[in-house]
A = this chain, B = another copy of it.
């Protein structure tokens, strides 16, 4: 079905993302979260406790979007909000014990899905792909 699309980077990135999201979604389903919620948990676990706006910035999403994420994660018992005592405008968001456990298991499941996705490349090419994407997205630093 050659239509000239197969050489376009945009097409390849989009469909790679779609296929990975499919695998990841299935892998995360047992833990009751999806890939974006996992990303929020990872950021929150990174430097807890963190304000909602700091977390939103790290993910490149709007603060109003973050409200919705924290709402659902809180409803699932994975995180909790509390007012920052030193600046009561802020919510400090932290993982609950259940949230930390879930994060741990979900990351493992997600990593496994990622490895299955990358399997056709072999270890060296898979590593190079990740380094190349990091260079493009994050700048020079590997």
Contact = CB atoms under 8 A, between A and B. Distances in A.
A128 B130 contact: no
Interface SS majority for chain A: helix
Kindly state the interface size class of chain A when it binds its partner: 35 or more
A120 interface: yes
Contact of A58 (B3, B9, B45, B134): B3
A35 B16 CA distance: 17
Interface string A101-131: 0000000001000100110110001101110
B114 A135 contact: no
Interface of A: 1-21, 24, 35, 39, 42-43, 45-47, 58-60, 110, 114, 117-118, 120-121, 125-126, 128-130, 132-140
A42 to B, nearest CB: 5
Contact of A24 (B10, B39, B114, B121): B10
